[in-house]
Structure 1
Amino acid sequence: MTTSLADHLRTLPDESLAALLQLRPDLVVPVPADVSALAVRAQSRVSVARALDGLDQFTLQILDAARLTRDPDDGTTSTEAVLAMATAGPRPPAPATIRGAVNKLRALFLLYGPEHALRVVDGVDEVAPYPAGLGRPATELDARTAALCADPAKLRRTLLAAPPSARAILDRLAAGPPVGSVPPGALQAPPLGAEDSVPPDPTNGGAPTGSPVRWLVDSRLLVAVSAGTVELPREVGLLLRRDSGPLGPLRTSPPPVAAVAREAKAVDSAGAGQTMEVVRHTEALLELLSAEPAPVLRSGGIGVRDLRRLAKALALDEATTALLLEVAYAAGLAGELELSGATTTRYGADQQVLPSGGYEVWRAMSLARRWEQLARAWLLMTRQVGLVGQRDDRDRPIGALSPEAERAGAPAARRAVLAVLADLEPAVAPTPEEVLELLDWRAPRRSRGREAAHREALVEAARLGVTGLGALTSYGRLLLTDVAEADERGGDDPLGLRADAEDASTAVRALDGLLPAPVDHFLVQADLTVVVPGPPDPALAGELEVVAEHESAGGASVHRVTTASVRRALDAGYSADDLHDLFRRRSRTPVPQGLTYLVDDVARKHGGLRVGSAGGYVRSDDEALLAEVLADRRLEALAFRRLAPTVLVTPYQVNRMLLALRDAGYAPVPEDASGAAVLSRPRTRRAPGRAPVGRTVDPLASPKLALPRLLGVVEQIRRGEAAARAARRAPAVVRGTAARTGPAPVHGHSDALAVLQQAVRDKALVWVGYVDAHGATASRLVRPVSIGAGYLRAEDERTEMLHTFALHRITAAVLEGS
């Protein structure tokens, strides 16, 4: 008697069901109504694909061995049969390793039943149609090919007679997948009388063979399954794998890494130096956006010209600039500001990208905290920065911050790469090819096709200082652990209050020990340069931004005091005494006499002229100074007129007049209508505050629940099962339909799903009762093909059409003849 998965699950204790839900958490969302619904969901295409995506290469090969050794009559296999196939290769793995993989598959319920009668859940064949990369048996493809495969000696002779070009095709298909596409006309025979026109094949000793694919099809080694597709029969593939084994090369452990471990201190030092550069460049980028915001294109993101402008100003390449911009945006340090209706940009946009309110808070943090906010945002953001600069489906360039760079799987790709580095010995720096090989062994279904994203993750981790010299840093390892723990407790702390309450994460404390301590002083040189021997603390950095010009950065940054910088400080509200006190208090070297003279000289001239609006006017108590301004040829464009001995007036606005006077070497000060001097710092605009990107839901994972909660879920499923059993024992009401449409007894929904699952396995005809779009009840005799994603796909043999039924509309299912 065939035991279904639902019957098997009913016999398990609550702890075993809870263990299944813990290993496959997607089965809990939403909670199944009863055990039958749980079994249907566990065999669905989506759930089985999730389970297979988390398996390593060796476990997937053992599952393929179970599929290949199934009995054609009852569909069962055994652990001994799996052991026999897995050990048939030249380097057989240990039986204990194979049994461990089988037990893992049984724990996930991809295999179920006793060891002597194991069954593979139905969804596996739908998700992965070609076990071990082998094609279907010849009996399912073509009768003449099946006859050839039934004679092993003749099959070997035919295979040995294949030309080298045809044999190369066979070897490629034998490695998997077993299907291939051929150009139109490649399978057609040449017209009558044209055989002599076939060119000779140098790979076949000069004998003409025509198309090697057509030769293989004519020789029954390949089967044409459609006009442009051929398939290699399973028997031929197994014969070609006689040297490597039916499952191909088996690797029970990850591939080894040949790289030699570096010195851990050197790795952390290199990474810490890069973190300082990342924070510095990010701050410089945001200051550039504050001075000249980047307009947002109508299609989203910023334009290529603005990205190039920012990259040129930062002396970085465009890829690094795009990464810093994307990370700063994800960290909540930049945002969009809506412009007023009268304000327009050169792109006609109504938004601009500039620093947000959170930027000021971020600048006041320590260097390690600032880096952690950036690195955490990079780990969690759903943006693939490597797409910036490429072209989309409509051949348009993808810009920074544009919607086309959004990828839901980007966080999972970054964590997978860093997890590979974290599982190696500390300070081991594998090559990118070795990392890709490890990823391909760990989760081949998840990693194949994403090699470009994984390479980009390695490059971005190095640019951000998460890795150093190619190896994962100690604080990067701690950051990865902190993010994983935050994800695990995310369900218990949805507002993130617990994380905010912590003083500092372990990654911040580790990085703090590697970075030089912030300094609150500088060294003033005789040439008026100011050397800061380390990272300045926020207060010192704010003062230097006002009183000096930044010249170079690094472990010791260099600034220079100039006439313009002193004037800027005076304009911001500093007095000459304040500047003298600042340099005496902050400098660890004697203040040069030239700096004192410079401050006094600029302060003495500062405010000698007062500027107001008339169109604009200039007044001064020094009549000789006004005469000098009036006679200065550099100011002829302002068209000054003397209204009084102490007043000049111009038709131009105040801002233009201020710039012209300062360019000419004067030091005017604006005043208001009352004659008071207006001293203020330049007003900076900020975008609305944005929260940094928080916990990102991985589309390839589901939330994990604690064991007590899972036991409560199992209890709820048991109650639903008891209610369904009681409903089945109650007297059934039968609705008759027309005799020609077949019977449609009223069953429970779970019973109907169980009948349909059995019909899919047996490929049997079944009467399906359903409610159509108009609310009418109907029934149809069909042959179910698959069940998944909430739909039944079935074939009507009378009309040879494929129909799709929504599962929630199905009211009954009865096998034909029941």
Structure 2
Amino acid sequence: MATYTQALRERGEIGLATLLTLRPDLATPPPATLRSLAARSSTRASLDRALGELDALSLQLVEAALALHHPGSTASPARAADPGTLARAVGLTEAEAGPALARAADLALLWQDGETPGHHPAPGLAEALGPFPAGLGPWLSTTLARRSEDGLARLASALDLPTTSLDGLVEHVGDAATVTALLAGGPPGVRQVLDALTWGPPVGRSPEPASAGVTSAARAAVEWLLRHGLLSIQDPQHVVLPREVALVLREGRTHRSPATAPEPAGTPIDPRTVDAESAQHAEEAVRLVAGLVTLWGEEPATVLRSGGLGTRELRRVASRLDVDDTTAALVVEVAGSTGLVVEDGEEPPSLAPTAAGEEWLREPVPQRWQEVAEGWLTAERAAWLVGTRDEKGARRAALDPESRRPWAPRLRTTALEVVAQHPGAALSAAQVHQVLAWRAPRSAPPEHAVEAVLAEATTLGVLGAGALSPAGRALLGLGSQTDDAAARGAAPQVPATHEPTASAPAEALAAQLPPAVEEVLLQGDLTGIVPGRPSPSLGALLDLAAQVESRGAGLTVRFTPDSVRRALDAGRTAEELLAELSRHARAGVPQPLEYLVLDAARRHGQVRVGMASSYLRSDDPGLLAGLVEDRSLAGLGLLRLAPTVIAAQATPAALVSALRARGLAPVTEDQSGAVLVAGPRRHVVRGVRGRGRVPAARSGAAAERGATTAEEARERRLRRLVDDLLRGAAREEADGAGVEGAGLLGGPDAEGTPDPVIALALLREAATEGREVWLELVGPGGTIQRRRVRPVRVDGGRVRAVDAEREAELTVAVHRIATVTPA
């Protein structure tokens, strides 16, 4: 019979390349030989990754293959179940089980020796799936081997058998007719005991002995089952149901029913509603991120000693952006993941925008959204963890270095992929989680993480009303294939690592956004209403001269003395501001607003600040006299130099702030007396342009050439690796290293292998196939003992094996094994 590694070689160049593509951990670092590849593929870590790629049905078939695979013994070879038997074991036809079996075989979790149609489980699979695959206990050959010779004789007597040999008893007790006949004549309670163990777990607690010599019905039933070999003692407190008996009771099935893919019925959503809501959220997300970049450019945020943004700073951001803490945390995390803000490297460090962030502020809204959405999709940070407690009870901060989760990008992609399969329908987080749990039951994300991802996607405009928006489909690279995939019932193929191919997301969002509005309806109560999405020029004007009161289908703003002064501080004159408002006002500028602007302009610059450290002067001597005598300004160190000039022992910024708090409207001037137009001073981190920022997607043939080149380079590397492995195997076989019957292809020589990884692979392979190996064991005193054994199980750093020559079973710690050599 062929071995696992020989089966890997028989896959050929294409098969090995497919395996390395599906299980990239096997190719990093490149294995030197096929023997090393087989050893690596049978390690617990690699098997766990491969099992995490299986859907629920494929996993059932792998469990069935392991459960029905008898390891055999020295006298009889291992027995594997054929595809038809495996299909029936889970309740399918062979044709229905074919694709799932092929998937498991492509991942090298199942293999065939070429001589029989049976599927063998990969070495180490029993350790990865646990001791009771599909809820089935150990084989009768294992449970009966624990009995002494007297115990086997008593069992043979109870069964009226002339033979007391282990093989004969195993064959008799495991026969379906024997089990049926025994149960038909069993005492009351036998069926209840077996029914509790049939579908797993197969281990049950033994009933306590009754007092005063009175035996309970359950105790009597368990004792009867033990006497007749239908149960076995696991330990002094527990009994276990042998695998053959359970399979008879299950009628040959390993699972009650096949795992079927869930088909969630989403709530129908009008596509126009999806477009409108997603566009609104996308535009709002861009505004919030821009607000954060602007805020931290003016007032950098302090970084905690442990890294990240403190709770107080996060609440300040939430207050300035007028959002809740959860949304503020998402905005901060997205800005950090996109590279728009970073630590400035100063002491103490602060968070400030990068040069790339400043450039981002000048880009159109659709392009800005694309960069933000791509940064979120590929970020390895979990924004939903902000505010929760870690294992030590400490609260997690935004941008906390410990909030990195490498699986987060995959979760976002797969969750959105599920939603993409139902265009025009809204799915709940529970429905999405149900699909993900079926697709990868061993690596299914927690439901709260799925719920958080969908909530973030809605906040960013990737989803609208619970359905994937056109911009969201473009972000995933699905395009028009989504409807076709959904119609076929197949999942759209989304690459595990997102690589934008064009500026399609920005274009899709631009098509979703409503037409920009150039008009504002100004009202006599100093408010204004924009009936739609303001154009860039109108939006800039309102951001400068008004404050937002509400957002929704329309934008409502209010003009105040402070907001008008903000525009005057930026260099606008009253005439220029009124002229700009008039160009956008549908019904002209109302008189109250005109009076507000003119009054603010009249007061603006009435007091001027200069350097003394600083000074102030005014044409009104009485005003300056009042300031000098004002006790609330004593801390400024005001000194009257002339009736119209006062010097101050404070910086111009502090002097301006104090005078404005008193109700004045000062301006600054230079040495010549000219008014300085001083906007807010921005703190920008230089020299980190683009660091951490997701670059804008390339368009046209350049992007396609780049993606093709990367794919071709990866394929070339795999082809070279596969060619080297096959050539090396051929050389070893030509040199006589590949001895027939040796464990791993090109196996160790007569002195064995000291490599612990390969040694473990040899032991797992021998345990799976029922082969014997030579072990060199190091004793406590350093002496080496050589023994020929048949490994039974390799688990938890220990090897359990049977020494046929000494008729004994031994358990050896792996670190005591010096070498392993196939017998």
The answer to whether the superposition gives a TM-score over 0.5 is yes
Tell me the equivalent position of 2:476: 480
* 1:27 paired to 2:30: no
> For the Cα contact (< 8 Å) 1:524–1:591, is it kept in 2?
yes
> For the Cα contact (< 8 Å) 1:782–1:794, is it kept in 2?
no
Tell me the equivalent position of 1:283: 290
* 1:720 paired to 2:720: no
Quote how far apart the aligned CAs of 1:249 are.
0.9
Q: 1:16 to 1:287 in 2, by over 3 A?
A: closer
Q: Which amino acid aligns with 1:766?
A: W
Q: Which amino acid aligns with 1:318?
A: D
Quote how far apart the aligned CAs of 1:744 are.
5.9
Aligned positions of 1:135-534 closer than 5 A: 135-141=137-143, 152=179, 153-155=181-183, 161=189, 171=196, 174-178=198-202, 189=208, 225=234, 231-235=240-244, 237-238=246-247, 241=250, 245-251=253-259, 253-290=260-297, 292-340=299-347, 350-422=348-420, 424-447=421-444, 450-481=446-477, 505-520=503-518, 522-534=520-532
Q: Which amino acid aligns with 1:30?
A: P
Structure 1 CA distance for aligned equivalents of residues 814 and 534 of structure 2? 70
Tell me the equivalent position of 1:75: 78
Quote how far apart the aligned CAs of 1:799 are.
9.3
1:774-804: CA deviation from partner (whole Å, max 9, x where unpaired): xx99886586869999x99788999954033
Local SS of the residue matching 2:314:
helix
Q: 1:782 to 1:670 in 2, by over 3 A?
A: farther
Quote how far apart the aligned CAs of 1:395 are.
1.8
Local SS of the residue matching 2:679:
coil
Structure 2 CA distance for aligned equivalents of residues 568 and 211 of structure 1? 91
Tell me the equivalent position of 1:113: 113
Q: Which of 577, 580, 583 matches 1:582?
A: 580
Q: 1:118 to 1:591 in 2, by over 3 A?
A: closer
Q: Which amino acid aligns with 2:590?
A: P
Q: Which amino acid aligns with 1:398?
A: R
Q: 1:630 to 1:221 in 2, by over 3 A?
A: farther
Structure 2 CA distance for aligned equivalents of residues 370 and 157 of structure 1? 78
Q: 1:769 to 1:744 in 2, by over 3 A?
A: farther
Tell me the equivalent position of 1:125: 126
> For the Cα contact (< 8 Å) 1:221–1:233, is it kept in 2?
yes
Structure 1 CA distance for aligned equivalents of residues 589 and 820 of structure 2? 94
Q: 1:8 to 1:746 in 2, by over 3 A?
A: closer
Q: Which moved more, 1:99-108 or 1:400-409?
A: 99-108
1:276-310: CA deviation from partner (whole Å, max 9, x where unpaired): 23223333444454555443222222233333443
* Percent identity for Structure 1 against Structure 2: 34
Quote how far apart the aligned CAs of 1:126 are.
2.4
Quote how far apart the aligned CAs of 1:512 are.
1.3
Q: 1:651 to 1:7 in 2, by over 3 A?
A: closer
Q: Which amino acid aligns with 1:29?
A: T
Structure 1 CA distance for aligned equivalents of residues 4 and 224 of structure 2? 45
Local SS of the residue matching 1:396:
coil
1:421-456: CA deviation from partner (whole Å, max 9, x where unpaired): 22x231232333332222222221221x63332333
> For the Cα contact (< 8 Å) 2:800–2:810, is it kept in 1?
no
1:678-720: CA deviation from partner (whole Å, max 9, x where unpaired): 331121223454534659xxxxxx9997666544433222322
Local SS of the residue matching 2:533:
coil
Q: Structure 2: any 5+ residue segments left out of the alignment?
A: 159-172, 480-491, 696-709, 739-748, 804-808
Local SS of the residue matching 1:544:
helix
Q: 1:665 to 1:47 in 2, by over 3 A?
A: closer
Structure 2 CA distance for aligned equivalents of residues 312 and 634 of structure 1? 29
Tell me the equivalent position of 1:345: none
Structure 2 CA distance for aligned equivalents of residues 546 and 211 of structure 1? 88
> For the Cα contact (< 8 Å) 1:784–1:792, is it kept in 2?
no
Quote how far apart the aligned CAs of 1:75 are.
1.7
Structure 2 CA distance for aligned equivalents of residues 391 and 227 of structure 1? 42
Quote how far apart the aligned CAs of 1:661 are.
2.7
Local SS of the residue matching 1:531:
strand
Q: Which amino acid aligns with 1:665?
A: G
Tell me the equivalent position of 2:161: none
Q: How many matched pairs?
A: 744
Q: Which moved more, 1:285-294 or 1:300-309?
A: 285-294
Q: 1:434 to 1:649 in 2, by over 3 A?
A: closer
Q: Which amino acid aligns with 2:561?
A: T
Q: 1:88 to 1:382 in 2, by over 3 A?
A: closer
Tell me the equivalent position of 1:736: none
Tell me the equivalent position of 1:734: none
Local SS of the residue matching 1:353:
strand
Quote how far apart the aligned CAs of 1:604 are.
3.3
Q: 1:37 to 1:676 in 2, by over 3 A?
A: same
RMSD (Å) for aligned C-alpha atoms: 4.7
Q: Which of 122, 133, 136 matches 1:134?
A: 136
Structure 1 CA distance for aligned equivalents of residues 229 and 261 of structure 2? 39
Local SS of the residue matching 1:550:
strand
Tell me the equivalent position of 1:804: 815
Structure 2 CA distance for aligned equivalents of residues 745 and 636 of structure 1? 93
* 1:683 paired to 2:646: no
Quote how far apart the aligned CAs of 1:339 are.
4.2
Structure 1 CA distance for aligned equivalents of residues 221 and 363 of structure 2? 69
Q: 1:516 to 1:612 in 2, by over 3 A?
A: same
1:384-433: CA deviation from partner (whole Å, max 9, x where unpaired): 233322222212222222233222222222222222222x2312323333
> For the Cα contact (< 8 Å) 1:286–1:334, is it kept in 2?
yes
> For the Cα contact (< 8 Å) 1:744–1:779, is it kept in 2?
no
Q: Which amino acid aligns with 2:457?
A: A
> For the Cα contact (< 8 Å) 2:798–2:811, is it kept in 1?
no
Q: 1:432 to 1:668 in 2, by over 3 A?
A: closer
1:229-254: CA deviation from partner (whole Å, max 9, x where unpaired): 77554356446645x94322113x41
Q: 1:576 to 1:815 in 2, by over 3 A?
A: closer
Aligned positions of 1:647-666 closer than 5 A: 647-649=645-647, 654-666=652-664
Q: 1:657 to 1:4 in 2, by over 3 A?
A: closer
Local SS of the residue matching 1:804:
helix
Structure 2 CA distance for aligned equivalents of residues 298 and 158 of structure 1? 72
Quote how far apart the aligned CAs of 1:67 are.
2.9
Structure 2 CA distance for aligned equivalents of residues 604 and 762 of structure 1? 98
1:110-144: CA deviation from partner (whole Å, max 9, x where unpaired): 22234534433223222213322322224424657
